[in-house]
Amino acid sequence: MTIYLIIPDGIEMPLDLREIEDSIEKDLGFPVRRLPIALPGERFYDAKRRQYHSTGILKEFLRNLPLDALKAIGIVSFDLFIPILTFVFGEAQLNGRVAIVSTARLEQAFYGLPSNQPLLHRRLIKEIKHELGHTFGLRHCAQRSCVMSLAANVSDVDIKGLTFCKACEHMLRDNRDDIPR
């Protein structure tokens, strides 16, 4: 079983994806491979909001998963939303197979600040682990240092740690160990 890192065709990823893949493999215990998918973005674009509807993209990812896919997470550079929120850093199917994370609001440039690649990289790893945690059945954690803590803004992303707290790690391990290999 494999966790796929989905990079939609045509999206520039100026990040060290290998380090991200290694971090996911280390914390979640499954091999990670990249999967390019052609994403018809205009179908998910809301011109009024100037954002993309993340739930629709998740459904598209789900339709394109290889048979050996345990989980998959897409990384996109455009801003995401769900109708009840102004924006989301990402979205995941709770106990499901797919998740998505956007780099748009994780970038310093979004806030009119100079680019900071190491900071973007840390933020992205946190949000990827967070959303993949949801696919393994984890909910938001009250412990602010846990990667599963809720992030309502980018400062919240910066405050949380890169790892799961002991309780979330235990739940993750239990849920992960139930998966046939």
152 in helix, strand or coil?
Answer: coil
pLDDT in tens, the chain (181 residues): 889 988 876 666 667 788 889 988 988 888 999 888 887 678 899 999 999 999 999 998 898 888 889 999 999 989 999 999 999 999 999 999 999 999 999 999 999 999 999 999 999 999 999 999 999 999 999 999 999 999 999 999 999 999 999 999 999 988 876 665 5
Instruction: Report the half-sphere exposure of 23 (CA within 13 A, side-chain side).
Output: 21
Q: What is the DSSP letter of 21?
A: H
| Residue 70: Cβ within 10 Å count | 19
**Strand (E) or helix (H) holding 117:** helix 117-135
The answer, as to whether pTM is greater than 0.95, is no
Domain that holds residue 85: 2-177
| Among the listed residues 42, 31, 34, the one whose alpha carbon sits nearest the alpha carbon of residue 15 | 34
Instruction: Look at the chain and report how many structural domains it folds into.
Output: 1
Classify residue 121 as left (phi > 0), alpha (psi -120 to 50) or beta.
alpha
Please report the pLDDT score of residue 19 as a whole number: 86
Is residue 19 annotated as a catalytic residue, yes or no? no
Partners of 71 in the β-ladder: 3
CATH of the domain at 38: 3.40.390.10
Catalytic residue among 60, 107, 127, 131: 131
The residues near 88 (Cβ < 8 Å, ≥ 6 apart) are: 54, 80, 81, 82, 102
| Among the listed residues 166, 139, 163, 120, the one whose alpha carbon sits nearest the alpha carbon of residue 28 | 163
